[in-house]
A and B are shown apart, each in its own frame.
Chain A
């Protein structure tokens, strides 16, 4: 749990320094997934990241949505399947799915 708060510490610092910031949170997982529910990724308006919502497979797509959320202020719900191939890369025996919620920090 302290991991998640370490992410929010950095998010708060970015926000206080005047940056646009979004937070992505793993809200549901099915099967094997690289990061547990509650894992968070903070993104600033330059695309800088803190934390993680996967083993690296979906961060690119999440950052893109995070930048869009910073721009229009609307929250987003994203669904990702972890392909078996990717799952093997992170040492998982089966594919999993994750749902990620992305919201702007106001």
Chain B
């Protein structure tokens, strides 16, 4: 392993970029494969690059037979991230529960009285408008966004930004009626019905949740389900590298 490779992996982590390190076991030759580029010994090999991207999409490291060679694909994907918009009561139970599920949790709310670290011990809290915060954080395919404020002027810009990104999950708290009105408002800023269909609303699995903690469970249950289904779909039939 080269020190430059270690530096590249560290840089990818800082930027929350997924990367696969392909190591040829016979001579330890290395290739770094990203979503949009590849660098190193076998960067020009399209079969290897696509096998590495498939492993990356599934988030699973594996050794593959490649002709008469063995190649180890070590996948480095950023941990799933949950961004909670609205530092409200439900967020206070949702954030620690999501942390237990290994999500990197950030709570965003522009209201100073709500967005305090005292209310969210051990969780990243950003006091800012969601769309501004999203821009700084960079939404990606490993991110889930949940809006909880009930306030259109806080929730709507968050949903609009999330819908224009490739986050894997978007959920919005509110009744069916609230959700229908939300759809109408977002249509005015160019969100089509097809796009809006990505929003899970009313948010969460239908388990009769009432208390904030129960609602957090129903939201997290849905996020886990959506993520698992997505990973399963990506796995697809196993392709043997030629």
Contacts and interface: CB of A to CB of B under 8 A. Distances in A.
Interface string A1-18: 110110011011001100
B172 to A, nearest CB: 29
Secondary structure at the B interface, as helix, strand, loop or mixed, is mixed
Contacts of A104: 1, 28
A23 B25 CA distance: 13
The number of chain A residues touching the other chain, given as a range, is: 20 to 34
Contacts of A28: 62-63
B1 A23 contact: yes
B6 A105 contact: yes
Contact of B10 (A5, A15, A75, A106): A5
Nearest to A11: B6
Contacts of A77: 25
Contacts of A9: 10
Size bracket of the B interface:
20 to 34
Nearest to B13: A5
Nearest to B29: A75
B169 interface: no
Contact of B76 (A1, A12, A23): A1
A106 B60 CA distance: 26
A37 B60 CA distance: 8
Interface of A: 1-2, 4-5, 8-9, 11-12, 15-16, 23, 25, 27-28, 37-38, 75, 77, 99, 101, 103-106
Interface of B: 1-3, 6-7, 9-10, 13, 23, 25-28, 60-63, 72, 74-79
Question: 6 closest pairs, A vs B, by CB?
Answer: A38-B61, A75-B28, A27-B72, A103-B28, A12-B6, A37-B61
8 contacts: A1-B78, A4-B76, A25-B72, A27-B25, A101-B23, A101-B25, A105-B1, A105-B2
